[in-house]
Amino acid sequence: MTPKVGPHKTFGFSSGQVFGKKVDLVLMENLVSFDNPNIDYLCALDKTNKKFYLFVLNNDDEMQQAALKVDTSRFIKVTGCN
């Protein structure tokens, strides 16, 4: 994963934690969309507990509202998850 601005140095590529559970960042193209360009997101997958996490980010200094669309047909089968 690379930052949008700044030095554009690639970093990451190892598992992290969400609420103490091991997760991996995942990029699932066209899975999630918002009707507001000020909203960004990250996705993570806990393969052990078969949980998907969506982190919603506000790229503006003002409060934002947006409609969320999730295309569940875009989920991919991940080894270790049924």
pTM of the model: 0.71
Q: Which residues lie below 8 Å from residue 1, measured CB to CB, with a gap of 6+? A: 10, 11, 12, 13, 25
Q: Which pLDDT tens digits describe the chain residue by residue (82 residues)?
A: 545 565 555 566 789 999 999 999 888 888 999 999 999 999 999 989 989 999 999 999 999 999 999 998 887 665 555 5
Other Cβ atoms within 10 Å of 73 Cβ, number: 7
